[in-house]
């Protein structure tokens, strides 16, 4: 009986790997633009020759693609991409989510695979912000699609004359606010010079994107802005520094100032599986830090002169929340 149970458990784990195969296959296809190359039915030899790829290895990728349902075989030994893969895993598609595959496969999964060695040595990895800044900025644009509506509703309600986006990435939130409320003064702060360069190239000239450290930048404002956006930011700050960070927010804001925070939350109603895994990834690095809980945010607010106006889930599966705070009067 024990041998049968052992075999059944092994089979169960093998079945769960089917989902990983789909992710791996989609990632390779996105990385090498293969779904676009196979948009029209072509042979493996044609694509291998035109793209200078190993014919044998490309054939193996195609074999997996047929089995997991990403590709279909046509007559004459030709293959074509399923329409959904061209739509969602092609770099040329405006609806692509392939960059999320890159973040998972190049950043998160390699870290989790190193976890046994990290646990034994207790020597944490160093998160290479320069290396992954553009990937993280691009994946953040996917979250923006869920968050931009609620942010615009908050702007409509609070009517800020100026907004600062901390860690603004490519400036998607600022662009959305500018399109709806063009008279609002908009400033973005971003640490990566490459991301700043790309943002400035794609945004209207009256959106001011600056390179620099967040806290140093805010020190110059002293009550002169109405709204601060701190999205995907808190896990770059040690928990022991977060109260001071919120004090910096408070000092930079005017009397009616508000803060919007977007972050996955632990010990919240939604997304426990994702947030526990995300926390594992964070804790494997010496320069990334645990996610806050709703109680943590309430503590930060109470100690620094804010009140929490609302705390709503944005993406329930991932435990992503939008938290809005207002200065106490």
Residue 304, domain CATH: 3.40.50.150
Domain-embedded: residue 95: no
| Residues 55, 169 within the same domain | no
For the record, the structure tokens of 48 come out as 């291998």
Q: pLDDT tens across 22-57, in order?
A: 999 999 999 999 999 999 999 999 999 999 999 999
Q: pLDDT tens across 75-126, in order?
A: 899 999 999 999 999 999 988 989 889 999 999 999 999 999 999 999 999 9
Quick one: average pLDDT of 223-241?
93
- C-beta separation of 265 from 239 below 8 A: no
| Residues 277, 140 within the same domain | yes
Burial class (CB in 10 A: 0-12, 13-18, 19+), 3: exposed
Domain-embedded: residue 309: yes
Domain-embedded: residue 196: yes
Q: What is the Cα 196 distance to its own chain's centre?
A: 17
How sure is the predictor about 17, in pLDDT bands with cuts at 50, 70 and 90? confident
| Residues 207, 315 within the same domain | yes
Domain-embedded: residue 115: no
Domain-embedded: residue 50: yes
| Residues 81, 172 within the same domain | no
Q: Which domain holds residue 59?
A: 2-89
Distance CA 290, CA 278 (A): 9
What is the structure's pLDDT at 197? Answer: 92
Quick one: average pLDDT of 229-235?
95
- C-beta separation of 37 from 78 below 8 A: no
CB atoms within 10 A of CB 15: 9
CATH of the domain at 16: 1.10.10.10
| Residues 62, 128 within the same domain | no
Domain-embedded: residue 96: no
SS3 assignment for the chain: CHHHHHHHHHHHHHHHHHHHHHHHHHHHHHHCCHHHHCCCCEEHHHHHHHHCCCHHHHHHHHHHHHHHCCEEECHHHEEEECHHHHHHCCCCCCCCCHHHHHHHHHHHHHHHHCHHHHHHHCCCECCCHHHHHHHHHHHHHHHHHHHHHHHHHHHHHHCCCEEEEECCCCCHHHHHHHHHCCCCEEEEEECCHHHHHHHHHHCCCCEEEEECCHHHHHCCCCCCEEEEEEECCHHHCCHHHHHHHHHHHHHHEEEEEEEEEEEECCCCCCCHHHHHHHHHHHHCECCCCCCCCHHHHHHHHHHHCEEEEEEEEEEHHHCEEEEEEEECC
| Residues 154, 40 within the same domain | no
Domain-embedded: residue 51: yes
| Residues 161, 301 within the same domain | yes
CB atoms within 10 A of CB 159: 11
| Residues 70, 140 within the same domain | no
| Residues 157, 286 within the same domain | yes
Q: pLDDT tens across 294-311, in order?
A: 999 999 999 999 999 999
| pTM confidence score | 0.86
Averaged pLDDT score across all residues of the chain: 93
Query: What are 326's strand-pairing partners?
Result: 258, 307
| Residues 255, 156 within the same domain | yes
Q: pLDDT tens across 140-176, in order?
A: 887 888 899 999 999 999 999 999 999 998 899 999 9
- C-beta separation of 186 from 160 below 8 A: no
Distance CA 233, CA 235 (A): 6
What is the structure's pLDDT at 1? Answer: 63
Number of domains in the chain: 2
Distance CA 36, CA 30 (A): 9
CB atoms within 10 A of CB 290: 17
Domain-embedded: residue 33: yes
| Residues 253, 302 within the same domain | yes
Torsion angle of C-alpha atoms 31, 36, 40, 44, degrees rounded to 10: -20
Distance CA 261, CA 153 (A): 15
| Residues 229, 83 within the same domain | no
- C-beta separation of 178 from 148 below 8 A: no
**Burial 190-216, CB ≥16 within 10 A → b, else e:** bbbeebbebbbeebeeebebebeebbe
């Amino acid at each position: 009986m024990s041998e049968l149970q052992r075999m059944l458990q092994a089979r169960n784990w093998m079945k769960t790997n089917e989902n990983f195969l789909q992710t791996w296959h989609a990632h390779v296809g996105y990385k090498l633009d293969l779904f676009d190359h196979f948009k029209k039915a072509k042979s493996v030899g044609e694509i291998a020759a035109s793209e200078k790829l190993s014919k044998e290895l490309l054939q193996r990728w195609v074999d997996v693609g047929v089995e997991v349902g990403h590709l279909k075989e046509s007559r004459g030994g030709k293959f074509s991409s399923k329409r959904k893969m061209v739509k969602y895993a092609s770099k040329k598609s405006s609806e692509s989510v392939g960059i999320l595959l890159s973040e998972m496969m190049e950043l998160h999964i390699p870290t989790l695979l190193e976890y046994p060695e990290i646990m034994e040595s207790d020597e944490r990895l160093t998160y290479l912000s320069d290396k992954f800044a553009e990937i993280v900025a691009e994946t953040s644009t996917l979250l923006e699609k869920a968050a931009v509506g609620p942010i615009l509703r908050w702007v409509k309600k609070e009517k800020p004359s100026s907004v600062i986006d901390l860690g603004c990435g490519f400036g998607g939130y600022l662009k959305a606010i500018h399109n709806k409320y063009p008279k609002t003064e908009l400033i973005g702060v971003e640490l990566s010079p490459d991301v700043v360069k790309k943002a400035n190239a794609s945004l209207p000239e009256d959106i001011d994107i600056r390179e620099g450290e967040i806290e140093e930048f805010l020190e110059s404002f002293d009550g002169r802005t109405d709204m601060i956006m701190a999205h995907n930011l808190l896990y770059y700050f040690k928990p022991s520094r977060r109260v001071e960070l919120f004090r910096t927010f408070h000092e930079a804001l005017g009397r009616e100032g508000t803060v919007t925070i977007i972050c996955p939350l632990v010990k919240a109603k939604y997304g426990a599986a994702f947030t526990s895994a995300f926390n594992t990834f964070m804790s494997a690095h010496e320069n990334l830090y645990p996610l806050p809980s709703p109680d943590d945010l309430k503590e930060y607010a109470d100690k620094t002169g804010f009140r929490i106006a609302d705390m709503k889930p944005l993406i329930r599966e991932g435990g992503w929340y939008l938290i809005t705070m207002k200065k106490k009067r």
